[in-house]
Structure 1
Amino acid sequence: MKVIIKNWQSVATWKWVANDDNCGICRMSFDGCCPECKFPGDNCPLVWGECTHCFHMHCIVKWLQSQQVNQQCPMCRQEWKFNNR
């Protein structure tokens, strides 16, 4: 018996590799997107701090803008510094 493939449709999935499943600020899944975005992916990237905590980029930027004196990680309260991996 011989099988002839006439049509092929591939399907791909992606997943952020983070130390948690949800953003600590908005509580939305990292596989989804933050409340400000419509679609997950490049327009809603994840960012890590030197403290290793991870957030949606839009969430941590909004958080840091609300912290006028001490810009701290919302999880561990260490000074927030973006990790340049």
Structure 2
Amino acid sequence: MARQYSRKASAKVGRAMKKRKAGTLRSGGSGRKVKSRKQAIAIGLSEARREGRKVPAKKSARASAKKTAKKASKKSTKKTTKKTTKKKSKKS
């Protein structure tokens, strides 16, 4: 079975975890110290993504891709029916 994450990606996550333990890992937006283990993993994965490593897409990106694919399949299978209008004849 193929690896889901590349070795370099898991190394990035490991580095982020070590920084979190040491208390030197900071979040990108606010610059606050990261305390959460999940947030440290997310930071490591996003760094790996930026470098172009083999990392699966984010959950939110996968969900939105699934939705757009579902919509596209619905459109292709949906039959277009035209309504025929009867012309009224004028009585003189």
TM class by shorter-chain length? under 0.3
TM-score normalised by the chain length of structure 2: 0.23
Q: Which has the higher contact order (CA 8 A, sep 6+)?
A: 2
TM-score normalised by the chain length of structure 1: 0.24
Greater fraction of residues in strand:
1
When Rg is computed on C-alpha atoms for both structures, the one with the higher figure is: 2
